[in-house]
Structure 1
């Protein structure tokens, strides 16, 4: 798991009143160093002491706590980077994991990753969730999460907690979806604890585009600043600045899908007029291309669209080109406001990139010349599982920052 900021060593010393805080900070510091290690490189206690500035005795005591909590495991003798007598290497325990879950307009999904971010098991179920009550959708997801949890257990992975991503605005620190226009939800409270009963880390709620942006950051930590734009039935966005997700004072920054690109356009599901979503969302593209969605799954409709594009259908090509142009207008506006120099495209924007990329770049050059280099407009590296992986990764990051939550 990649860390987004370098760890700094707190002091071993402290007054009696703050010794517990110092201990917790040191636990997090040591665990972060192990989590940051490249794949296949197993730090020893001596190396951790040198890297953190803590005493060898403190590191040994902290490692023992993390081993007893099941977060770390020993992996035998290691000579990596050491002289003389080899030490015992350490790694994140592969028999512990977290679950990422997603509710979207036309599907639900659940998957378990190891603490190091490797996907162990994943299931996606097509389901029409539009205007479906939150309780009904959650009941379906509870069943799916149970099946995935059992499948992970069969592979020797115990789930410690989870994250749920939804295509809407969420209330920070609660389990409430304040508004999800494409689901028809307003101030909908979700009983997320039902999803993973008995897990020590609980279940947290995330905006799906923000979660996917975090997954991109974890896979490409060299990109410190970028705008992630995800195309689904709606259009979502996640803004990463200085390797941190920026969500604004109320947690709702990055709503690229509701940037106005056509003031004289049609009404959006959000209540506004001419939003990017009304031109570049899946429903808008399918409609303009003459692709039927009634009584069919989104994957079937997308397959038809791809076939029409490959065959050179004028309606399909015009629909996608128009979406690319509108996307360029929105990205140009966003780049001027937040000064990002890279854009990552996910969802159907990545799937349609072959036909959408040119109009997008032409639009950017027209409306924000010089703001974004073409080589910095790229497609997602995490694919359709981005929101799921990001939600799971956020739970791991929270654990690394506060490992005392799992102490025996």
Structure 2
């Protein structure tokens, strides 16, 4: 492939870089980062994207964007559109098309991260990436291809069922994995403690062996272990990369593996920690531009 202008739209920042892929070799250059417009509306985001494209003018052959939410028919939305505020139903493709005549590809940010993490693996066919952070998301590679589904929602694995009697999830369902395992869920429960704290301190107390913190982290880890088992038995996943601020927290992977070890071997794929950090969305977006099936 030529040079891809990869853009990663997050809740707090918009990152961009020029990415060149040669086989599994990745070259990332000319990184830039700007703040995502606060309380953004369509006009503010359009200006921010225009600024990025102008900054890289005449330096790229394709544009690929990874964004939070769901991208369906070029429109940005979400399972819970309220999460996007004034950006719900933002015409992402048409906005970019007005600014450039280069080929454009779009995908969800967790799907992009899955593409990047797959690039870091050896020769496997079926792979999944799970991010456990403020929320829980992921991406799925089947037969060496990113599986997005007809409506772009494939990989929203945080909205699989963990506890039918659990907490309400922002998507409108009760008991999603995200409502049990995510950083937001950990924060919600820790706020009820006699000595309340934020998730980073929860993990400090967990590593110190404090029973209340161990129980809370284990609740999250068990939900993720069961999610991994479900993905494995349903999709024949060979390896899973675990990422996100919770997923990468010291000691968390060990607890996930502890609960997986209690299940039959058929439910236990190889688990690795995510390889890429802040560049995962950018690298994955570029990989998708090179490997997605064009119309």
Give SS of 2:61's match. Answer: strand
SS at match of 1:212: helix
- Distance in 2, Cα, partners of 1:315 & 1:128: 39
Structure of greater Rg: 1
| Superposed CA offset, 1:13-52 (max 9, x none) | xxxxxxxxxxxxxxxxxxxxxx7xxxxxxxxxxxxxxxxx
The partner residue of 1:197 within 82, 85, 99 is 99
Aligned mates of 1:303, 1:146 — CA distance in 2 = 39
Match of 1:237 in 2: 138
Aligned match for 1:121, one of 8, 26, 30? 30
Contact 2:9–2:36 (CA under 8 A) maintained in structure 1: no
Q: How far apart in 1 are the matches of 2:259 and 2:35?
A: 34
The structure, 1 or 2, with the larger RCO (C-alpha pairs under 8 Å, 6+ apart) is: 2
Match status 1:177 vs 2:76: yes
Asked if the contact 1:228–1:237 (Cα under 8 Å) also holds between the matched residues in 2, the reply is yes
| Match of residue 48 from structure 2 | 140
User: Map of 1:281-360 to 2, 5 A cutoff?
Assistant: 281-290=182-191, 316-352=213-249, 354-360=250-256
Distance 1:318 1:111 in 2: 41
TM-score (norm 2): 0.81
2: CA distance, partners of 1:179 / 1:106: 17
Distance 1:284 1:359 in 2: 17
Among 92, 98, 107, the residue aligned to 2:13: 107
Please list every run of 5 or more consecutive structure 2 residues that lacks an aligned counterpart in the other structure. Answer: 193-197
Q: Is the 8 A contact 1:145 1:196 kept in 2?
A: no
Q: Displacement of 1:312 after TM fit? A: 5.8
Retained in 2: the 8 A contact 1:145–1:195? no
CA contact (8 A) 2:37 2:44 kept: no
Cα offset for 1:327?
0.8
Q: Give the distance between the partners of 1:309 and 1:339, measured in 2 at CA.
A: 33
Stretch moving more, 225-234 or 301-310? 301-310
**Over residues 306-332 of structure 1, what are the superposed CA-to-partner deviations in whole Å (9 max), with x where a residue is unaligned?**
656566665554433321111112222
Equivalent-residue separation in structure 1 for 2:98 and 2:5 (angstroms):
9
1:391 and 2:285 are equivalent in the alignment: yes
**1:230 and 1:236 in contact (8 A); partners too:** yes
Change (3 A) 1:161 1:246: same
Q: Is 1:216 aligned with 2:117? A: yes
Query: How big is the shift at 1:179?
Result: 2.1
Q: Which runs of 5+ in 1 are unaligned?
A: 1-34, 36-70, 72-96, 292-300, 403-408
Under a length normalisation based on structure 1, what TM-score does the superposition of the two structures give?
0.60
For each residue in 1:168-211, what CA deviation from the matched residue of structure 2 results, as whole angstroms up to 9, or x when unmatched? Answer: 2221xx3112425333464432255448933522x321011221
Where do residues 29-44 of structure 1 align in structure 2 (5 Å cutoff)?
none
Using the alignment, how far apart are the partners of 2:209 and 2:33 within structure 1?
Answer: 31
| Residue in 2 that maps onto 1:39 | none
State how far apart, in whole Å, the 2-side matches of 1:120 and 1:214 are: 19
Correspondence for 1:257? 158
What secondary structure sits across from 2:51 in the alignment?
Answer: helix
